Amino acid sequence: MAELVGNVLVGQSGGPTAVINASVAGIISEALNHECIEEIYGALNGVLGILHEDLIDLASESQQQIRALRHTPGAALGTCRYKLKKQQDFERVLEVFKAHNIRYFFYIGGNDSQDTADKIAKLAQEQGYELRVIGVPKTIDNDLPVTDHCPGYASAVKYITTAVKEVACDNESMGQGDLVSIIEVMGRSAGWIAAGAALAKRRDHPHDPPHIILLPEISFNQEKIMEDIRRVLKRERYCLIVVAEGLVDADGNYVAAEGNTDAFGHAQLGGAGDALAEIISQNIPGVKVRVAKPGLLQRCGAHTASKTDADESFLTGQAAVKAAINGESDKMITLMRGDGDHYTSETGLAPLADVANSVKKLPRDWINEDGISMNFQFLRYAQPLIQGEVTVPHENGVPTFARLDRVRVDKTLPAYEG
């Protein structure tokens, strides 16, 4: 393999996670080990930063700040939902890469981002510009194919299981068989996060909370679920429900949207949790319903991050650099689980094209027949991922996170008019 001398560019894309910055830290740490890498740049706000030549010098950041990235939520480089579409956009990306001698491009993101990375890699190849492109997986949705799981997912699950355990203590003390408590979690098209709440149950305690998990995969049967709730309330002091925001009815309509317009005809912003609360209040007289909607908190909960997840995110960053140095390109780093009883993982590589256009669904046979709980196959899959706690440093009683200096790299091109 001929040594490729040049600069690194790292970008982050899509919704952030609690551990996406750990991958950036992994990339920087590893890049510093290789002499063929001259500069380490970051693109501000994903591809937008590339288009507008908004680059920062990551090597000039203090080691303290880079280390702090390992426990800092959000995307420290900024991110965007802008999707490169026009040929002109892609041409511009290469123009910027050439202007800054970018030879290694690492893009951390979900499906769309891997698709973008794939297209950039292919265009560079067409044009004979030597560039190595490696995608780093990231998404709380856990829906990327090929990889066993996605960095970011386990920390979202750990946030939710922590919430379930704590809310259960509160509900247990307040309920008298008349309390329904709803936690609405993210997951518009897949129930990976809601399913993860099942990890809050102790082994062999199927009656532990959450008593009911409502997944987008199982269409909402109002009559059956009301019966499920009544049954739980006969047995327990309270019924704790975890509902995915993307819960749909038998016709495939979001439960959240049903009839939800206010007096002015505006669609209500309330979600599946509020809609479910309304249905329960109407159908089960005398119950008190409480709704919690942690929203963004569940994807940025660094203080409840899984250490396994944070470590693996760092590892995928390192692995991306190693793979590129070894001549790989147009690939995404995957996480592969060992075969043994004891959980182990190592990184692998998959063609970006294989990742970009497919989605990993929650297997139907990991859901119990009751449609509201997860079986041992899911638990065996998810349990190892949430192990270990991360310590976030505090200052004055509040968590303290990395703050990058963001030293700008001089622009050399005319402004982009695309």
Per the listing, tokens 């190592």 go with 346
Catalytic annotation present for 178: no
- Taking the CA atoms of residue 412, residue 414, residue 417 and residue 418 in that order, the dihedral angle to the nearest 10 degrees is -40
Give the residue with the Cβ less far from a copy of itself, 119 or 299: 299
Q: Is 11 in the site for a copy of itself (CB under 8 A)?
A: no
**Region binding a copy of itself by CB under 8 A among candidate stretches 97-105, 118-126, 285-293, 322-330:** 285-293
3-state SS assignment for residue 195: helix
Q: How far is the CB of 243 from a copy of itself (least distance, A)?
A: 13
Looking only at residues 195 through 214 of this chain, which bind a copy of itself when binding is defined by CB under 8 A?
Answer: 199-200, 203
- Asked if 32 interacts with a copy of itself (CB under 8 A), we say no
Residue 23, SS3 per DSSP? helix
Phi (first) and psi of residue 131, to 5 degrees: -150, 135
Contact call for residue 52 and a copy of itself (CB under 8 A): no
Q: Does 64 bind a copy of itself (CB under 8 A)?
A: no
Q: Which of 54, 89, 115, 141 is catalytic?
A: 141
Question: In the complex, what is the shortest distance from the CB of residue 328 to a copy of itself, in angstroms, rounded to a whole number?
Answer: 28
Q: What is the dihedral of CA 134, 140, 143, 145, to 10 degrees?
A: 30
Q: Does 291 bind a copy of itself (CB under 8 A)?
A: yes
Contact indicator for 393, 400 with CB cutoff of 8 Å: yes
Q: Which is nearer to a copy of itself, 85 or 394 (CB)?
A: 394
Closest alpha carbon to 110 in 340, 356, 366: 356
- The nearest distance, CB 109 to a copy of itself, in angstroms, is 12
Distance of CA 22 to the CA centre of its chain: 13
| CA–CA distance, 31 with 7 (Å, rounded to integer) | 10
Q: Which of 23, 45, 313, 318 binds a copy of itself (CB under 8 A)?
A: 45
Tokens 């760092």 sit on residue: 314
Q: Which is nearer to a copy of itself, 6 or 187 (CB)?
A: 187
Asked if 161 interacts with a copy of itself (CB under 8 A), we say: yes
User: Which of residues 192 and 401 has its CB atom nearest to a copy of itself in the complex?
Assistant: 401
Interface with a copy of itself (CB under 8 A), residue from 1, 126, 173, 234: 173
Q: Considering only CA atoms, which of 22, 104, 9 is closest in space to residue 66?
A: 22
Q: Is 168 in the site for a copy of itself (CB under 8 A)?
A: yes
Residue type, 26: G
Q: How far is the CB of 5 from a copy of itself (least distance, A)?
A: 31
Site residues (CB under 8 A) for a copy of itself, limited to 96-135:
none
Q: Which of residues 316-375 bind a copy of itself (CB under 8 A)?
A: none
Confirm or reject binding of residue 290 to a copy of itself (CB under 8 A).
yes
Q: Can you list the alpha helix ranges (DSSP code H) found in 32-136?
A: 47-51, 63-68, 87-99, 111-126
Of 289, 40, 61, which is closest to residue 175 (Cα–Cα)? 289
Q: What is the dihedral of CA 214, 218, 224, 230, to 10 degrees?
A: -10
- Establish if 284 lies at the interface with a copy of itself (CB under 8 A): no
- In the complex, the smallest distance separating the C-beta of residue 299 from a copy of itself, rounded to whole angstroms, is 7
Which amino acid is residue 306, in one-letter code?
Answer: S
The answer to whether 169 contacts a copy of itself (rule: CB under 8 A) is yes
Q: Which of 388, 406, 411, 416 binds a copy of itself (CB under 8 A)?
A: 388
> CA of 388: how far to CAs of 7, 17, 29, 299, 303, in Å?
35, 17, 22, 17, 12
Whole-angstrom CA distances from 175 to 226, 262, 341, 391 are: 18, 31, 40, 33
Alpha carbon distance 82, 43 (integer Å):
14
Q: Among residues 7, 12, 113, 147, which is the contact residue for a copy of itself, using CB under 8 A?
A: 12
- The answer to whether 150 touches 137, Cβ cutoff 8 Å, is yes
CB 99 within 8 A of CB 6: no
Q: Does 221 engage in binding with a copy of itself (CB under 8 A)?
A: no
262 near a copy of itself, judged by CB under 8 A: yes
Q: Tell me, by CB under 8 A, how many residues bind a copy of itself.
A: 76
Q: Which is nearer to a copy of itself, 159 or 352 (CB)?
A: 159
Q: Which stretch binds a copy of itself (CB under 8 A): 143-151, 242-250, 258-266, 365-373?
A: 258-266
**Residue 292 interacting with a copy of itself (CB under 8 A):** yes
Q: Does 286 bind a copy of itself (CB under 8 A)?
A: no
Among positions 398-417, residues that touch a copy of itself (CB under 8 A) are 398-401
Nearest-angstrom CA–CA distance, 416 and 141: 33
Among 6, 26, 42, 74, binds a copy of itself (CB under 8 A): 74
Backbone φ, ψ for residue 374 (5° rounding): -105, 150
Closest approach, Cβ 274 to a copy of itself, in A, equals: 5
Catalytic residue numbers read: 141
